[in-house]
Amino acid sequence: MHYRRPSDTLKWTRFDVVTSRATDRACIIQGDFGRSSIKNFELVVPEGDDLVHYYRDNSRGGWHRAQIVTSGVTGPACMLQSNYPKGADHGNFEVVVLEGSDLVHYWHDNGNVTNPWQRGVTITSHAASGACFIQSDYPKDADHGNFELVVLEDEGGLFGRALVHYWRDNGGDESWKGPTLITKDATAAAWLIQADYPRGADHHNFELFVQKGLELWHWIRDNQTSNFPWLPITRINAPDEKIDGPAVAFQGNYGSDEHHGNFELLASFGGRVFHYFRDAADPALSWYRSAQLSRYAFHYFTGWNRNTPTLMCNRFTDVDLSHGQLGVSQALDGMVAVGTQDNGVVAAITDPSGTPWVPVGGGDGNEAVWPASTSPAFSHLKGGDLLVWTHDDESGAPHGSLGDPIGGMKGANPEILPLDVPDPTIVPPPDPALGLVGDPRIARVIAPAYVDKNLALSLIGAPAVGKDVTRAPLYGLFIDGPFEPPKEQRDPPKAGWHFLAAVGVDAPTKARDWPIRCMASLEGATVILAAHVSANRRNAASHIELLQLDVQLRSITWMNADPIIGWPGINWIVPVRSREAYAATDDGRVLVWDGNKWSFPGSYVPGKASLGGMAVDVSTNPATVFVITNDSVYVSRNGTRTWKAAMQGLSRSLECTNVHFMIDHHGVSHLHLSTFGRSTWIADRVSSN
């Protein structure tokens, strides 16, 4: 999306759509092409695996797709127009872009606009972010100024994980030199410019904008000092403005200082983009936050790691060792975990200032779930810090992990969550230390309120049962109180599984199966579940039945349903209020519970495709419902009556596996999507358009 701030109104407005296929942030410049005195805008943007060049004809208007720069990109690019070749009518376009952990230079000979883009050299093989580069005034009196570049490198770089500076010696052998260390405190990509400070110098200072956690700092490289030190100057954002993405900046021509224009900068916090400026006429050179540019700081981006851009996330509806689940932390914004094929369970913070994936468990990963960290009943819940996960070990018992990818993930104590209250029909009782064996499917209690002896019911687990077994147990993970703010908690949470009830089911015919297909609970007092049951007076054949468990009474009852529904397979359940819940079926329908019965008030998704997952936003009226099929995401905003594809910005050839809705601590809602072979994706709240 192209935004503009006209000089007569000084108000930011949405001006034009560049592309509807963007999958990462773009870079825009004003080049020297164009029919009028106002030259064209040039832009590069990732579209899936492709990096695409667009231009805007500023004499006639409108954005136009030019060429694919290259394929196989995995992150954002930076673009400039250089003064190569000497004496040419139009300088070359230069681009640097991420390809995994490689940062690669491309260039375009603008002697003929139809010329293909040329691949240059790989600048570093340890890039952990996109880069920013400029053409500077070094060396003095040279035909071509050097290229100067900053990039965040990973642990394999010369300085470990650090923000570093490279430069290409354009006055000499035109090779890339470096790196030199800027800082080890940077947590995201940085932005580099060369302004006109100090006045009259042979070489002006480099100005650098660096994200450090939730802070944004202005640095300079003092080009008047022989050792060229990089120095932090000032923090730009206020303490309550928690920066969540890299900044972009330039020196403009606004301001009342007769020698220097203001610095203009865009940065995001709370999922929104804001304009900042530094007043050149202010003796203190203070930074000021101006207007909000957009509510959509990052609409879509992939949560890829440099080694796993094709991460294969397992789907909940699969069976045996391939079933999996995408977990989203309520305690720490942007933190997700997912069970994958071959890469085990992995976790990451997936926002623009996020982390690489870190392994939690090996082999094939399955479930990955965080309990709620808060609810209307409790402002703080210890369990929100506990990642519960399973993988393909012999027992399949859930493990627990604490921490985050920044500070490190470590196992809970004990790591295998114990089975504190087993099924009383099992004789002799199993060893509690072995945990809940049977590779259970796991579901969150969305807003915990049910407490038993100072233990909050936080998760539901349904393990597999063996061949010919007609009794499927259901367990709850209870996590201890007191329910204190995190800073007042001295001990990690203690968690254990308790037997809740058993469901009579149709006996599996293979070695093991999960007759409880899915389950969900709003507050913990009741659990809604879908189970494969034998023939009964409601249906003469084995079928999927929607049931309700009263946890305190340990009683299971049939739920009323409109006969027109029939007996579809149920793949996902979302309760949102005491008398409102949704169920996704294997024939493309969303069923609605109104407290009395299940009904089908809406329409099928296109093609009546099986719905593999569902997420619901209850902040709207009616609730907004998102569903996934094997290859698409759909949304309904009118009570499931109609469906619209919600695929803008997503990669091609998608295989969807899980979807999860979460509201962060800034009140911004996010839709998380996992895929098989395309890693994870995130969208902020999808607009009504």
**CA 317 – CA 324 distance, rounded (Å):** 8
Tokens encoding 330:
């309520």
Q: d(Cα 122, Cα 298) in Å, to the nearest integer?
A: 28
The pLDDT value given to residue 299: 37
pLDDT of residue 268: 85
Count each helix (H run) and each strand (E run) in the chain, helices first.
0, 54
**Can you give 39-83 as a three-state secondary structure string?**
CCEEEEEEECCEEEEEEECCCCCCEEEEEEEEECCCCCEEEEECC
How far is it, in rounded angstroms, from Cα 585 to Cα 50?
Answer: 35
Distance CA(123)–CA(129), nearest Å, equals 13
Model pLDDT, residue 305: 41
Q: What is the pTM of this model?
A: 0.61
pLDDT mean across residues, the chain: 90
Please give the domain boundaries of the chain with CATH numbers for all domains.
126-294 (2.120.10.10)
**Residue 187: alpha-carbon gap to chain centroid:** 16
The parts of the chain modelled with pLDDT lower than 70 are 270-271, 296-310, 317-322, 351-354, 482-491, 652, 684-689
Query: Amino acid letter at 601?
Result: P
For residue 411, what are its two tokens? 């196992």
Residue 476, classed as helix, strand or coil, is strand
Per DSSP, 84 falls in state P
* Chain segment 12-33, per-residue pLDDT in tens: 998 999 998 887 889 999 999 9
421 contacts: CB under 8 Å, gap ≥ 6: 496, 497, 498, 499
